[in-house]
Chains A and B, each alone.
Chain A
Amino acid sequence: MTTPVKNPETQVKRPDEPLFKRLTRHQMFIPVAALVLLVLFNLIADASFFAVSVKENSLGNPVLSGNIISVLDNASELVILAIGMTLVTASSGGQDISVGATMAIAGSVILRMVCGGQVTADTMQMNLILAVLIGIAVTALFGAFNGALVAYFKIQPMVATLIMFTAGRSIAAWINNNQLPIINDIAFKYAGTFLPGIPVPTPIFITAAVILIFWLVLKRTNLGLYTQSVGINANSSRLNGLDPKMIKLLTYVILGVCVAVAGFIRVSRSGSINYSRIAENIEMDAILAVALGGNALSGGRFNIYGSILGAYVIQFLTTTLYKYDVPSTALPAYKAVVVILLVVLSAPVVREKLASLKKAPAKTAKEVS
């Protein structure tokens, strides 16, 4: 077959694109740059920030302690949520704002199971794994509810999940008859604190396991391709044999599972729950992590590792602010300023402006020649 058209010159790569510019255009640039900035700031301000020491915890076991450990530990729930949130964002072009509320539900269910319906229990009344599985099943169900509204009723994700956002914490309270169950069994707290004999907080391992699982899933299945394809053009995807509705639903169910794991970690840190305070505002942090990771909140292409890094950056920032005695109630104000700075710097318009400022002299020279 011959073709009458031959003009390979139409698409010419600009040869002289500087390394710096290619770097700044990379998706991971913003989260990495933010991390580097935070690290540098702490190094200069007070290098002891990075000190890790061995201390004895309340049970007399030697455990690692230090800001870095606490960042990795405390970011766990956020990282796990951010992974699920990335998938939901990619497939449906919107975010689930009910994750904090459904975390409360997961925690409430798990506590009710292990306490056997009592207000306080000294030993677990149910096998912990079974309890967690029930928690996962419940939040997966709520995820499916959200997903069904989004996929089958075509309701915008943030609006659809507004329902669970409003009702979630109330449902959590209702599950335990508005009582605050407390479990004193030390084995329940293994997942949120330390396993006996291991000096590293357990949530770090759980998070690593979750990341590993998702790495495998993305490598061994077409989840990535399908969610992106559906998120970019649902019509085309359908005509290529995909079921966009099922795939959207699936991502919400996956997020539901993530929520249960995060909720479990959170309640097992203390062995108790406060329905209105647990995981408060975490949905905002999770969405932020996705955006910070360079993912478009309008869906489509995604990079899950960007979101994970974004989540750690957010926790790093929180820990840094705490270190400088910012009261926890005022924390959001500082966070907001940092967030705005980050998004402004990563906005395409601003980047172009900055680039053109730098390039201006070079360009005029070219035009003359």
Chain B
Amino acid sequence: MPNGIAVDKQGRLKERAAMSDTTLLLTITVVVFFILYLAAILFLGGSFTKPQNFLNILNNNASLIVLSCGMSIVMITGGIDISVGGVTCLVCMTCAVNLERQGGNMLTVILIGLGIGLAFGVIQGFLVAHLGIQPFIVSLAGMFFAKGMTTIVSKEPVRVTNEGFLAVKDMRINVPGLGAPNKLGVYIPAYVEVGVVIALLVVILLFCLLRWTGLGRAFYAVGGNNQSANMLGINVRRTKFLAHVLCSVLAGLGGILYFLHVGSGDVANGAGDEMNAIASSIIGGTLLTGGVGNVIGTFFGVLSLNTIKRIVSSLGFDEAWWSNITVAGMLCLFLVVQSIVLLRKDKK
């Protein structure tokens, strides 16, 4: 009798040893991105065939990539941080004021950006991890605080004229082999901004962190089941705390990159970026329930989100509202697909 059962069990086992949720969702995201972009090239042509068009998606969204990665990490631990947009805004404004009115330089900008991020991270992380307050409420207050503080720092937009800063801002890193001649036949090299290099470095570093370090695996364990993680000997509080610190520091860095891209402080900077970051993470296969996700997926999430925006606008739907409606539509589609995939997997 036991034989029959054991064989049966093993038989079933082999069927089930399929992909993990993380890998499955990541695959979907990457495939969808490539299909989207390929479709755009085939059916729309025009600017989509030019490599620079693709690189511009990176140039415009270096900040969002960093923010989204931070968001993914918090989401993997089962939390959420909606203060990242506010922190971005506050960092931009403070840096702008520092450069223009207090004679700051690149170094002070970096220190300010990371410092503000760290401060938010430590306070929010403490409240979430050690006092057990819901992350949504904590980061909601964080967002309010950051936005309010921005207007206290300066209500008016501040344009930066500091030369050292502008030199870094306008620095272009040419990508060999991707340039194209313009109408006059002059070869225009394809380029990325400094921010893109930093953002890509961040993605790679975070990928390694999540995959190969004890801390990274602890993020997943805590998100999977925090009571179990505690019983397994993981310091749940410290892990949650560090996730929030990391996310906010990345938000600070994202603020610096945003600032580098736009070159001014404005209360409207980074508006809605918390939602863009959450949307990118979700499209990239991170589950808000925690325990599942990947920064590579998130990276492709940002790309997909912005590719679809471009497709919509090049289809002639220029009005501002179409962009939002498409993003929402895409989010909806992804959520439903993910939900169906996961539900079906559960049933098996």
Which A residues fall within an 8 A CB radius of B? Answer: 95, 149, 153-156, 158-160, 162-167, 169-171, 173-174, 178, 284, 287-288, 291, 297-298, 327, 329-337, 339-340, 343-344, 347-350
Contact = CB atoms under 8 A, between A and B. Distances in A.
Interface string B306-340: 00000000000001111111011101100110011
A120 to B, nearest CB: 22
Contacts of A336: 141-145, 148
B288 A156 contact: yes
In the A-B complex, list the 8 residue pairs whose CB atoms are closest, starting with the nearest: A333-B148, A170-B321, A167-B328, A332-B144, A336-B145, A336-B144, A329-B151, A332-B148
Interface centre among A95, A333, A348 (most CB of B within 10 A): A333
Contacts of A149: 332, 335-336
Nearest to A353: B131
A171 B325 contact: yes
Contacts of A335: 141, 144, 148
Contact of B127 (A166, A167, A331, A344): A344
Nearest to A98: B328
B279 A348 contact: no
Nearest to A167: B328
B141 to A, nearest CB: 4
B137 A288 contact: yes
A365 to B, nearest CB: 29
Given A166-B327, A167-B324, A347 B132 contact: yes
Interface in B267-281: 267, 275, 278-279
B339 A158 contact: no
B249 to A, nearest CB: 20
Interface string B173-214: 000000000000000000000000000000000000000000
Contacts of B80: 158
11 contacts: A95-B136, A159-B282, A162-B275, A163-B329, A166-B331, A167-B327, A298-B134, A332-B143, A333-B151, A344-B133, A347-B131
A156 B141 CA distance: 21
Contacts of A327: 151, 155
Given A284-B140, A288-B140, A339-B141, A170 B336 contact: no
Nearest to A337: B145
B322 A170 contact: yes
A333 B336 contact: no
B36 interface: no
B211 to A, nearest CB: 25
B147 A332 contact: yes
Tell me the dominant secondary structure on chain A's binding face. Answer: helix
Given A163-B328, A332-B144, A336-B145, A291 B278 contact: no
A131 to B, nearest CB: 23
Contacts of A329: 148, 151, 155, 267
B172 interface: no
A158 B79 CA distance: 12
B137 A297 contact: yes
A149 B288 CA distance: 14
A349 B279 CA distance: 33
B112 interface: no
Contacts of A330: 148-149, 151-152
Nearest to B282: A159
A281 B335 CA distance: 24
A165 to B, nearest CB: 7
A208 to B, nearest CB: 28
B275 A343 contact: no
B1 interface: no
A287 B82 CA distance: 14
Contact of A158 (B130, B136, B327): B136
Contacts of A333: 144-145, 147-149, 151-152
Nearest to B337: A153
B148 A155 contact: no
Contacts of A160: 335
B339 A153 contact: yes
Given A331-B148, A332-B147, 18 more contacts: A149-B332, A154-B339, A158-B288, A159-B288, A162-B331, A167-B325, A171-B321, A288-B137, A333-B148, A333-B151, A334-B148, A335-B141, A336-B142, A339-B140, A339-B144, A347-B131, A347-B133, A349-B130
Nearest to B131: A347
B108 interface: no
Contacts of B127: 340, 343-344
Contacts of B161: none
B138 interface: yes
A184 B314 CA distance: 39
Contacts of A158: 80, 136, 288
Contacts of A154: 339, 342-343
B324 A169 contact: yes
B336 A153 contact: yes
B275 to A, nearest CB: 6
